[in-house]
Chains A and B, each alone.
Chain A
Amino acid sequence: MVATSSADVAFPEKGSAVTSILKKPSVLPGFGLTLGFTLSYLGVIVLLPLGALIAKASGLGWYGFWGAVLTPRVFAAFEVSFGLSLAAAAVNAVFGFIVAWVLVRYEFPGKRLVDALVDLPFALPTAVAGIALSALYAPNGWVGKPLNELFGLKVAFTPIGIAIALTFVGLPFVVRTVQPILQELPPEEEEAAVSLGATRGQTFWQVVFPAVLPALVTGFALSFARGVGEYGSVIFIAGNMPGLTEILPLLIVIKLEQYDYAGAAAVGASMLLVSFVMLLILNILQHWMRSRHAR
């Protein structure tokens, strides 16, 4: 509304080639102060310590770095962390979409309460979630006992337990990314599809779903990324058996406790690298989907 017009006033040269090199002119004060403070704070709190990680990892040299990372134990932890995070993100994509759909499209008693509950994993400390899930799914727990007695299924201290913890922490990412997109979907598009003779199923799969898909992929990616780094909610339910239920963040902690700082830095840096590459791929995929939907 007013925002766009005021932006034009503040930056009269917007869009024109003649601008100052670093900053467009503005009558508002405080640019130097706030930018200076922001950059210093960012440098001290975030960039300098992350630089220390990179420096420590690269201090190992090329062979030292890969020697520390390409061990069977680290490799297994990579498989556990990335594989189970993908599984949990997939579960969240399906059920998170259903939850978002139900919250946007249907009316039912207690809807607001359910809506607020979705954010619980954001608010509940991970250690609390961890011990609660561990107690629930232990062989004598409320859920673990019937699962064990009826199906012979062991959840706590197995990879399934890790996937459940990662599902818990990742769920709100999918719901909260899909929900606003679903809310703002213009009803005209569906009406048009229906008036052209589409069935409900066709309308959903060919009109609604493609419009929501990019958001769903974003939610999936966020849930996945969160899962890879997650520590507190996992370690209590995981059992932490090297090679089987040992996640990457725990391996970093173990290396630190053994004073293997360089090894910890190498695993940490490689973890950041792999997450970064996977998120990049997902971003490209999403960009491709968006441009395809726009056509």
Chain B
Amino acid sequence: MPASSSASALSDPAWMRRLLIATALAFLALFLLLPLVAVFAEALRRGVGAYWTALVDEDALEAIKLTLIVAAIAVPANLVFGVAASWCVAKFDFYGKNLLITLIDLPFSVSPVISGLIYVLLFGLNGAIGPFLKAQGIQIIFAVPGLVLATIFVTFPFVARELIPLMQEQGTEEEEAALVLGAGGWQTFWRVTLPNIKWGLLYGVLLCNARAMGEFGAVSVVSGHIRGYTNTMPLHVEILYNEYNFVAAFAVASVLAMLALVTLVAKSALEWRFGAELAATRHK
């Protein structure tokens, strides 16, 4: 009798378990699953033919190409930054380190629209150095460089914040051993550090890439919405939607939704397979 009473006080009664599971699943189905299903349902509303026509449309293909170009510049840039930042933050102890970590995380707490706005204020025609750049024939706002800069800003912390806790947990012992055994600095990094952080690095790059390809607010402010020239996929979705071309808008959106699903699958696979190696990252 005491055993059963303590067991019941340690676990919830069956009716409550069922109620809570049902509540959680219903909430997730309504708020997360249904919008996802709606994207594909709306995209295929007029059949596969209309869906395909919308995807191979010239402007849509240009938007896909531009999205890939922007991500191909922004993600490697933040990858290099993330590795450099986490090396100096995690492997050394110095004055002002916490401030540096806070500043690295700063772009996450800035609204995407403000992230775009700041570049317009800096590089726009009425901006701080916009007129000077214009005189040199360099255009940043309403052009591809602006899209890249705004994307770099919003994805700035992703790689660094995955790597910093991971590298802090790993410490410096292995690198010191390599150095003592006569390895050079770069050799130590490539042969010792990189193998230790590769899954965390991949995890950060994955999240960084998903955000880079999907970013809307920041690039919307700097792009000027010039079709076929400064239109990334999310911006193209907006234009099509505002033109009441819903099938085409949802068709392009469905490609982005598939990207999100691939990201989630890859991310979950990394967590399940290398959960222990990512532990520092996931339980911060």
From residue B226, how far is it (CB to closest CB) to chain A in Å?
A: 14
A31-B92 in contact (CB<8A): yes
Residues from chain B with a CB closer than 8 A to the CB of A27 are: 176, 179
> Once bound together, how far apart are the Cα atoms of A4 and B171, in whole Å?
7
Residues from chain B with a CB closer than 8 A to the CB of A98 are: 20, 23-24, 27
Tell which of B85, B114, B179 touches A53, judged by Cβ atoms closer than 8 Å. Answer: B114
B176-A10 in contact (CB<8A): yes
Tell which of B100, B112, B119 touches A38, judged by Cβ atoms closer than 8 Å. Answer: B100
Tell which of A22, A30, A131, A272 touches B185, judged by Cβ atoms closer than 8 Å. Answer: A30
From residue B230, how far is it (CB to closest CB) to chain A in Å?
A: 15
Interface string of B90-101 (1 = CB under 8 A from A): 011111000010
From residue B253, how far is it (CB to closest CB) to chain A in Å?
A: 4
> Once bound together, how far apart are the Cα atoms of A52 and B129, in whole Å?
10
Stretch at the interface among B53-61, B131-139, B210-218: B210-218
Tell which of A56, A131, A225, A228 touches B250, judged by Cβ atoms closer than 8 Å. Answer: A131
B282 within 8 A of A: yes
Interface size for B (C-beta < 8 A) is 103
B47 within 8 A of A: no
From residue B252, how far is it (CB to closest CB) to chain A in Å?
A: 9
Residues from chain A with a CB closer than 8 A to the CB of B220 are: 231-232, 253
Number of A-B contacts (CB under 8 A): 318
Query: Size range of the interface on A?
Result: 35 or more
Residues from chain A with a CB closer than 8 A to the CB of B71 are: none
B72 within 8 A of A: no
A128-B234 in contact (CB<8A): yes
Residues from chain A with a CB closer than 8 A to the CB of B84 are: 33-34, 37-38, 41
Binding site for B on A (CB under 8 A): 2-7, 9-11, 14, 21-24, 26-31, 33-35, 37-39, 41-42, 45-50, 52-53, 55-56, 95, 98-99, 101-103, 105-106, 108, 112, 114-129, 131-133, 135-136, 142-143, 164, 167-168, 171, 180, 184, 187, 190-191, 194-195, 198-200, 203, 225, 228-232, 236, 248-250, 252-253, 256, 259, 261, 264-265, 268, 271-272, 275, 279
* With known contacts A229-B112, A229-B113, A272-B110, A38–B6 Cβ distance under 8 A: no
Residues from chain B with a CB closer than 8 A to the CB of A184 are: 283
